[in-house]
Amino acid sequence: MAGEKITTRAQDYSQWYLDIVNRAGLAENSSVRGCMVVKPHGYALWERMQAALDRMFKETGHVNAYFPLLIPKSYFAKEEQMAEGFAKECAVVTHYRLKSVPGKGIEVDPEAKLEEELIIRPTSETIIWNTYKNWIQSWRDLPLLINQWANVLRWEMRTRLFLRTAEFLWQEGHTAHATKAEAEEETAKMLEVYRVFAEEWMAMPVLFGPKSEGQKFPGAEYTLCIEAMMQDKRALQAGTSHFLGQNFAKAFEVMFQNSTGQLEHPWATSWGVSTRLIGALIMTHSDDQGLIAPPRIAPVQVVICALGKEAAEREASLSAAKQLATALKALPREEFFNFDTIAVKVDEDFHNTPGYRFNEWELKGVPVRVEIGPKDVAQNACVLARRDQPGKEGKQFGIPLDQAPLRIVELLKSIQANLFAKAKAFRDANTHTVETYDDFRQKIESPGGFFLAHWDGTRETEDKIAAETKATIRCIPKNLPNEPGVCMVTGRPSAQRVVFAKSY
C-alpha cells in the first residue's frame, strides 16, 4: 500500500521487480490470462521510447503503415519454420458473432463459424509479405522500408509483467530489398539503431551480435540481437534484427523485375522491440527505493515540490515553483529532452507530508526533484535532489532560482551518463572468461553473470549446455575483445568466444 516500503532486491529480487511495477503505477495483470493493463505511468514510458525510436526509424528512411490484426490460418503453413515456431502460441478466431439465448445469457452463435479460422498476429511477416506481393513489381519499387506500431499476441503459459505477456505492444519493421547485400546492410543498420537507443536513451549497455542457430527467429537466415544484463546478472534480449533472406518472398511468390529485366525474389529483413524494454529499464537501473528512469526516457524529468504549512507559505512556494517550471520549459530545445521541452511537473499535494511526497516521486523514478519551502522562498532559492545518488544539493544556502534551470539540465545529463556508467561497470564486473566446462558449470550457478567461452558452433553442443546448465548462448558478440580457441565442451575448434548466460 501507499507509504509502505517495497521489497528489497536482497530480500526477493522477483518480488522487488513486481513491487516496482505495481507501486510506480506501471502495469498490472488483467482478468484475461496473460494480458496486462499498461497503466498511465508505464504507458508514458512507452510513449517516450516510441518517440525516440520513431524519430530514428524515420531518420533512416522508414515510414509507418498498418497491417491487419488477423491472419488467415493458411498463411502460417506457407513458411515452414514460422509455422513450427509460432503454432503453439496462437490465439484462434473461429466465430464472428454472439447471440442472446433466453435464460442462458450470451453465447457464441454456431451459425457464425468462419470458413477459415483467423489467427491473431504473433508477428506479421506472413500478412505483410502477402501484401508486398502487390506492391513489388519492379526494382523501382525497392527498397520498401516500412515499420508498424502494433499489438501482437503469443499465448504464453508463464507470464511476467512486461517481460513475457500474451499480448504486448511493439514495433515491427519489414523491409524488402533488391539485393542480398542491401538487406544485410539494413539488418545491421537497424541493430545499430537499437544499440544507440538502448545505450544513449535507456542508458542500458548492450552486447550485440548474431544469435546462434538455436536461438534465431523462426524463418530467419540469421538473427542479430542486443543483450543486456539485469541486476540479478541474468541476460535479457532487448531487441532483434533478422535477415530473412528470400524465405518469405518465395513463400508468398513475390518477384520483381531487376534493372536488367530479369525476375528475382527480393530480400527481406524484419526487426522489433517491444514493451519488454520497460521491464529491461526497470531491472537495469532501479534500486530499493523504486524505479529509476533515465532522464531521456522519464515521463517526468523534473518534479518541483512546493512545500509549506501555512496558507501564505504555500502560496509563495507554489508561485516560485510555477515560475521555475516556466523557466525550465522555456529553455532552448535540445535533442536530449526527447520531447520539445523538459517534462516538468509541479507537485502541490500539500495534504501529504513532504516525506511521503518525496518517497512517491522516488518510487516513480523521477530523475531530479526540486524542493521549494519557506526557507528557500526567503532566499529566492531551491534544493535539488538527484534520484541516482543520495543527498541533496543546496541544503545549506540553496541553489539560486535563476541559476536552477541550467543546473537542472546539467544534473539530468550527469544522471544519464552516470546510469550508463554504473550499469556498464556492473555488467563488466559480472562478465567472466571461462576456459573449462567444469569451471563454467560451477560459476554459472555462483556468482552467475555473462560467461565468455569457446563453443564448437554446433547445435548439439549448444543444446547439451542448455540442458545441463539452463544457460543459453545469448549472442556471438561483436563489441568485445575476442580470439579463436577450442570448445570448452568438445575441444573442437572455435572461431571466437560466445556469451553464455541464464536469461529472461
- What is the contact surface with a second copy in residues (CB under 8 A)? 28, 30-32, 35-40, 42-44, 46-47, 63-74, 76-77, 83-84, 87-100, 105-106, 108, 117-120, 127, 130-131, 134, 146, 150-151, 153, 155, 167, 169, 340
Cβ nearer to a second copy, comparing 153 with 423:
153
The nearest distance, CB 96 to a second copy, in angstroms, is: 4
Are 456 and 493 spatial neighbours (Cβ–Cβ below 8 Å)? yes
Given the complex with a second copy, which of 46 and 217 has the nearer CB atom? 46
Q: Which residues pair with 72 in a beta bridge?
A: 118
For a second copy, which is the closer residue by CB, 278 or 381?
278
The contacts of residue 279 (CB under 8 Å, 6+ apart) are 17, 160, 161, 162, 163, 236, 504
Nearest-10 Cα torsion for 82, 219, 250, 83: -10
Q: How far is the CB of 414 from a second copy (least distance, A)?
A: 26
* Strand ranges in 138-245 using DSSP code E only, listed in sequence order: 144-153, 167-177, 207-210, 222-229, 235-245
Q: Between 55 and 395, name the residue whose CB sits nearer to a second copy.
A: 55
Q: How far is the CB of 40 from a second copy (least distance, A)?
A: 4
Q: Cis ω on the peptide bond leading into residue 210 (within 30° of 0)?
A: no
What is the DSSP secondary-structure string of 279-299?
HHHHHHH-BTTB----TTT-S
Torsional class of 435: left (φ above 0), alpha (ψ -120 to 50), beta (otherwise):
alpha
| 353 Cβ contact list (under 8 Å, min separation 6) | none
**Residue 215: what residue type?**
Q
77 vs 421, which CB is nearer to a second copy?
A: 77
Residue 325 CB partners (closer than 8 Å, separation 6+):
304, 344, 345, 346
CB nearer to a second copy: give 51 or 486.
51
**In the complex, minimum distance from the CB of residue 135 to a second copy, in angstroms, rounded to a whole number:** 9
In the complex with a second copy, the residue whose CB is nearer, 156 or 313, is 156
Element containing residue 494 per DSSP (H, E): strand 493-494
C-beta of 333: minimal distance to a second copy in Å? 8
Minimum distance, C-beta of residue 495 to a second copy, in the bound complex (Å): 35
DSSP 8-class letter at 503: B
Identify which of residues 149 and 426 has a Cβ nearer to a second copy in the complex: 149
Least distance from C-beta 315 to a second copy, angstroms? Answer: 22
Cα Rg for the chain, rounded, in angstroms? 26
Which grid coordinates are listed for 403? 541559476
At 442 the three-state DSSP class reads: helix
| Shorter beta-carbon distance to a second copy: residue 16 or 86 | 86
Nearer to a second copy, 32 or 378 (CB): 32
Least distance in angstroms from the C-beta of 364 to a second copy: 13
Give 33's contacts (C-beta < 8 A, 6+ positions apart): 159, 166
Amino acid at 324: L
CA atoms within 13 A on the CB side of 291: 34
Q: Pick from 455, 467, 460, 475: which is nearest to 212 by CA?
A: 475
**At closest approach, how far in Å is the CB of 345 from a second copy?**
12
Min dist CB 78 to a second copy, Å, is 10
Q: Which is nearer to a second copy, 166 or 415 (by Cβ)?
A: 166
| Smallest separation, CB 104 to a second copy (Å) | 10
Minimum distance of a second copy from residue 256's CB (angstroms): 16
Three-state DSSP at 150 gives: strand
Q: Using the structure block, give the residue that is written with the C-alpha cell 554446433.
A: 458
Query: Helix 311-329 to helix 404-429 angle, to the nearest 10 degrees?
Result: 70
Closest to a second copy by CB, 249 or 465: 249
Strand partners of residue 113:
95
C-beta neighbour count of 312 within 10 angstroms: 10
88 vs 492 by CB, closer to a second copy: 88
Q: What torsion, rounded to 10 degrees, do the Cα atoms 350, 23, 239, 32 define?
A: -120
The minimum distance between CB 194 and a second copy, in angstroms, equals 22
